[in-house]
Structure 1
């Protein structure tokens, strides 16, 4: 051994590495070299539990093998392992679209690109091959929600809940039922989700509070929004909706404070408009006009023009109110409330023909046209058309027999008709006597 040469083990050939005899990277079995399988080999082993394993192969993989997918009872056994897809619903495993899991993965991918038709096609085949595949029902429900078919989405989520109930599915069905305007069912599903452990999330309390607000259960809605704001005090919509519940319960001051907090967090047009409505209820007309003006600066909305018109009417600015109502009708042509308000305001300005025209256009769209009939009856009465006025007031009494105003105006219209009839008869009698005098005088003149 020369100086500087590393020592070699006895019996090994000169120049051979000491690791070459028994290297863990190239184990020797029966005199032949065996290469350990690469760490990614498990991807292609469709059934790793039954596949033969080398005794020298390590039981640990690098990187570690991910947790196996949840397999439905109808899915093939070979699909129970594999890489999780980016959507988190399964693995394609380089296989054609011939099984429920592959169809589901493709549907999830398409749903990310908002293609409901293709998503529903894949999900239809997925549920046909695997009717107990929860995610297939779920993704088809989401596709149907995107397509606007909330009722069918509720049915799909119901099937998913029958297979594997979860808080996520309860929440999603609550959203679908709300979209289908089944507020009671949506509130029940939200309650179930809270009972199953979702009560730590502010979103579920907001959802149930909105359902109860739509059902006019204001006390219960207020309690839900209290809890939602306790969990998430920076959510502006929760402040606004709690303000609506307080206004319905008669707490106008509390409603104004809550809506002001919503404006502080999110100064958007809807928040300013709601505070304008609340201040109109509080008879703060100048402040209501300012809020509506701010809302209209951000977004032109017919409701904001209407609220500002009512506030201006209370401030005796009738022409300004008419101008705002003209803009409201320009924003929404069939805004019946705006036409009703404009008819009343024009009647106050003495614009009788325009009042009658607005009433004629709005009455066919009103389920209860009593206000418009009274307005048109007054316009007819002031024009001297007592017959048309009496007919309008009679119709009002058919809708509302307790209307004292209609009964009073009907009586005045009837009396005016009687006076007019008697005055016409007197005029006819006087004219007949005058004619007789003229004829007699003419005869006397001729006889002389």
Structure 2
């Protein structure tokens, strides 16, 4: 979900020295310290833009030696340190910048980014809040605060922040996408589908939006729309086992058990350790009445995850149909032991233990 947005303050324009016509004019051999600091600052900005971060850092260091009250130099040195993953020193520089300019919303935002990188989400959220108070039109601050709120499960507050981000920047595709995800968590499926659609209109190659819209349509009961989205996604990206598993589940729900088995099989080809896909294919084979394959796939799922209750349940069904009554009873009881009480029902109805 997170998409870094770093803002660098532009280079300063140095005042031009007055032209002198007299040939005997005496010129100073060096600029005054304040102008030297500005020159070094401008050089640091140019080097940052060229991604020469170490060289930029040296220029900002020198600028601050000459002018210790240079707020923008602290800010840009902090941004440079962030790019170099020197997060704690970056926080110190943002502190210095904010001490000199307490109303700088972008400095609060930058410090929030650094604190988030330091695994300090509470402090980062506080900084993003100060950023939106200082600069309400700065969409990334709303977006990042929304992302933190989403991660801690406060979907209503997250949605409100993503709303503000899209108002500040109507072309912010990621904000539309994440607003949709918050709406999905709130079970506001029609609104979520509209928001994912808006994200895709702004950025057609934002494939997670396509995959997530498919899942939302499936939850909303629109299997046809979900299958269309899964298929479009897989046309563009064919190496995602989860996407094949999700389309397989939609096909299973639509009664296309053969298509479901093919999708689950493709998922296992891409990730042989994907126990969920092995078990799902076992369920599809049960519907297709291919009980030997169902037994084999459920066994594979159990080998990968010995506590997979649903796989024991499915293998029990397969073994019952293969006339392996003892094996079926053992599997159903194991499923119940692992939390699927219905396993005991199957065992009782089949006369296990009588």
* TM-score in same-fold range (> 0.5): yes
| Alignment of structure 1 residues 281-430 onto 2, 5 Å | 281-300=219-238, 301-363=240-302, 366=305, 369-400=308-339, 403-412=340-349, 415-418=351-354
8 Å contact from structure 2 (residues 91, 115) kept in 1: no
- Quick one: distance in 2 between partners of 1:189 and 1:365? 44
Cα deviation, residue 271, structure 1: 2.4
Name the one with the larger helix percent.
2
2:216 counterpart (259, 271, 278): 278
Pair 327,186 (structure 1): closer, same or farther in 2 beyond 3 Å: farther
User: 2:89 aligns to what?
Assistant: 156
Larger Rg: 1
- Quick one: distance in 1 between partners of 2:352 and 2:24? 114
User: 1:250 aligns to what?
Assistant: 187
1:347-398 CA-partner distances (Å, limit 9, x unpaired) = 2223333333333333465596222222223223333333333333333333
The answer to which structure, 1 or 2, has the higher relative contact order (CA under 8 A, 6+ apart) is 2
1:26-45 CA-partner distances (Å, limit 9, x unpaired) = 4xxxxxxx7113xxx55x42
Pair 179,318 (structure 1): closer, same or farther in 2 beyond 3 Å: farther
Cα deviation, residue 163, structure 1: 3.1
8 Å contact from structure 2 (residues 312, 331) kept in 1: yes
Cα deviation, residue 295, structure 1: 1.5
Pair 287,140 (structure 1): closer, same or farther in 2 beyond 3 Å: same
- Quick one: distance in 2 between partners of 1:225 and 1:335? 34
Pair 353,277 (structure 1): closer, same or farther in 2 beyond 3 Å: same
Pair 408,185 (structure 1): closer, same or farther in 2 beyond 3 Å: farther
What secondary structure sits across from 1:200 in the alignment? Answer: coil
User: 2:81 aligns to what?
Assistant: 140
1:88 counterpart (20, 33, 45): 45
Cα root mean square deviation, aligned: 3.4
Cα deviation, residue 178, structure 1: 4.5
- Quick one: distance in 1 between partners of 2:335 and 2:118? 36
TM-score, normalised with respect to structure 1: 0.62
1:205 counterpart (109, 119, 142): 142
Pair 155,353 (structure 1): closer, same or farther in 2 beyond 3 Å: farther
- Quick one: distance in 1 between partners of 2:250 and 2:217? 10
- Quick one: distance in 1 between partners of 2:187 and 2:38? 60
Query: Unaligned stretches of 5+ in structure 1?
Result: 1-23, 27-33, 50-67, 70-78, 90-104, 145-152, 419-448
8 Å contact from structure 2 (residues 223, 254) kept in 1: yes
- Quick one: distance in 1 between partners of 2:248 and 2:256? 9
1:74-109 CA-partner distances (Å, limit 9, x unpaired) = xxxxx64645443328xxxxxxxxxxxxxxx7xx58
8 Å contact from structure 2 (residues 166, 176) kept in 1: yes
8 Å contact from structure 1 (residues 205, 228) kept in 2: yes
What secondary structure sits across from 2:106 in the alignment? Answer: helix
Pair 136,235 (structure 1): closer, same or farther in 2 beyond 3 Å: closer
User: 2:12 aligns to what?
Assistant: none
TM-score, normalised with respect to structure 2: 0.76
User: 1:232 aligns to what?
Assistant: 169
1:264 counterpart (201, 222, 234): 201
